[in-house]
Structure 1
Amino acid sequence: MMRVEQAEAKPRPGRKRDHTRDPEILDAALDVLAETGYEGMTIDMVATRARAGKATLYRRWSSKSELVLDAVGWLKSRDLDHATLPDTGTLRGDLVAMIKAPNLRESERKLKVMAGIVSMIARSPELAAAAHEAVVEPRAAVNRIFLRRAIDRGEIPPDADVEKLSLVAPALMAYRVLMLGKPVEPEFLLWAIDHVVLPAAGVRPTT
């Protein structure tokens, strides 16, 4: 009898949470974060932007910091597929081929998200690591591929510092967006490629 009562008293598992709307909610969180920064962002604002019930968000994320961490991690899932990267036969051609409107919009958005979480990065090593993986590393990884191809072709010296060179263009973009408040325009990137990246990599000027 005791066993029967214990079995009946055992709580039943609740309904599984529906995560199908997570991508929409995380995208909304990134938009709000880019617009207001971490300090100004609230979970209620994200719920309104995502057109989701507040209870849905509070069940999924118990705090703003948890939501932001997941949202920044979600950026990583939007990385470029390395299998589809251009291979034009020259370093300049590869870099120029990446100057496309969707790529520029995504890069600018990531930088604005980075600006929104600057105040938290110093206090949260976990968030700092997530931001590096989602914002800095993806574009640097693509540049490393292009630079190593150029070394293999003999286009740039074999001792070229791939790690430092891979960060030159992202650093210039970050300064332009975060410090100057200007958009990332194709003309600016072409200038950076021809006058900064290629000379630093050791590419000889051609006619």
Structure 2
Amino acid sequence: MTSTPTAGKAGRRRDPEKDAQILQATLDVLAETDYADVTIELVAARAGAGRHTIYRRWEGKDELILAAIACTDSADLGPDGLPDTGTLRSDLLALLDPNWMGGSERRLRILSSVSAMITRTPSAVDAVTKAIVDPSTAAYRFLIQRAVDRGEYALPHNLDALAQVIPSMAAYRAFFMQQVVDEEFMLSIIDGVVLAALREPSAANR
């Protein structure tokens, strides 16, 4: 397995439109089929592409799945694309996308397949973390730091750890508990954990 899931093989010009079709087809197959039954041939048939077209881009099934997962963010998680509503809570709520991966039930089926991949291929954990958890963690860290900078909250004792709370708990619920990560669950983390920690009077003095 390669450590960079979106990297293709060199020497041939990539067609972004074809890439997008293949990655979308991968998500469709994951939503309908158990991980063990997902094959390059199934994805190729769904995408209307030859299997060799896929192998020129990705080395195998796991790399293809990771690439598909990595491209599913419906919003730009870079600083310029993040919400700026004036309050941290509103920013965090604005970042939630109930239709990510096609909605909660479809998302659960897809992430269940990813969980099965992790179980069978433990080395995939780092790649999944880089594809899903790390970009969200960076976005949450930016939003929290911006709220601190504008005086909304004191600087927490461990900003990096606090930024990891939402994506890590969501990933644990989806991958290991195999339960839906819905708006109610996300709100419970935002209000009951992240904002509660920031409101502690001693947050900046530990």
Length-normalised TM-score, structure 2: 0.70
Q: Which of these two proteins has the greater Rg computed from alpha carbons?
A: 1
Task: Tell whether 2:198 aligns with 1:192.
Answer: no
Match of 1:173 in 2: 170
Q: 1:189 to 1:81 in 2, by over 3 A?
A: same
Aligned twin of 1:130: 127
Structure 2 regions of 5+ residues with no counterpart?
1-11, 202-206
Q: Does the aligned pair in 1 maintain the 2:173–2:181 contact within 8 Å?
A: yes
Equivalent pairs counted in the alignment come to 186
- Gap regions ≥5 residues in structure 1: 1-15
Confirm or deny: 8 A CA contact 2:70 2:132 kept in the other structure. no
Query: 5 Å matches for 1:60-139?
Result: 60-61=57-58, 63-68=60-65, 70-72=67-69, 74-75=71-72, 79-103=76-100, 105=102, 108=107, 111-112=111-112, 114-122=114-122, 124=123, 127-139=124-136
Q: Secondary structure of 1:89's partner?
A: coil
User: Which residue number in structure 2 is paired with residue 42 of structure 1?
Assistant: 39
Greater mean alpha carbon deviation, residues 156-165 or residues 47-56: 47-56
User: Secondary structure at the residue paired with 2:174?
Assistant: helix
1:161-185 CA-partner distances (Å, limit 9, x unpaired): 1111111112222233334433222
1:22 corresponds in structure 2 to 19
Q: CA RMSD in A?
A: 3.3
Cα separation, 2, equivalents of 1:78 and 1:113: 23
Change (3 A) 1:46 1:153: same
The SS at the match of 2:145 is: helix
Deviates more, 1:88-97 or 1:135-144: 88-97
C-alpha change, 1:160 and 1:150, in structure 2 (3 Å) is: farther
Identity of aligned residues (%): 41
